[in-house]
Amino acid sequence: MRTAGAVHAIIDTPPGDLSITKGALLAADLIVIPLQPTGADVAQMAETADFVDAVRRETGAPAVVLLTRMVKGTVAARTIRETLEPFGLPILTAEVPQAQAVGMVYGQPVNDLGHYATVLEELKEVAAA
């Protein structure tokens, strides 16, 4: 990617295939863990955090949690940060709200970052630290 002139590359791994996920994490300069404020995502977080920590011991890459599909004013939106505190991973201030448009652009080039613009700026700060 670097030789192809890419500024940023995002590697989105499928759930359940730890060999693919580990390969992506080993190649990452920054690990972003997207998390929806759902019981299923929170239930998986302990295993995810342990897996990421093991890889980080090898690479030293920073890791952060990105809250996605957030719906303002809900109990989940108000409590998710506190729920994630025991896992010890930093949580980005920027959040991605629930939006149908995100799912509709699968496989398309990104011309407008929308809510992800603030996410990108915060990720740049984390990567530079």
Q: Which residue has the higher pLDDT, 64 or 100?
A: 64
Residue 37 is inside which H or E element, if any?
A: none
CA-based torsion, 118, 119, 124, 129: positive or negative:
positive
Domain boundaries, the chain: 18-128
| 14 DSSP 8-state letter | P
For residues 94-107, give the mean pLDDT: 76
Residue 36: Cβ-neighbour burial (10 angstroms; 0-12, 13-18, 19+):
middle
The pLDDT tens digits for 31-84 are 999 999 999 999 999 999 999 999 999 999 999 999 999 999 999 999 999 999
CA–CA dist 63, 44 (Å, integer): 16
Q: Characterise 14 by phi-psi region: left (phi > 0), alpha (psi -120 to 50), beta (else).
A: beta
CA-based torsion, 70, 115, 15, 33: positive or negative:
negative
**Polymer length of the chain:** 129
* The pLDDT of residue 1: 46
18-128 maps to CATH 2.40.10.340: no
The pLDDT tens digits for 102-128 are 566 677 776 777 788 899 899 999 988
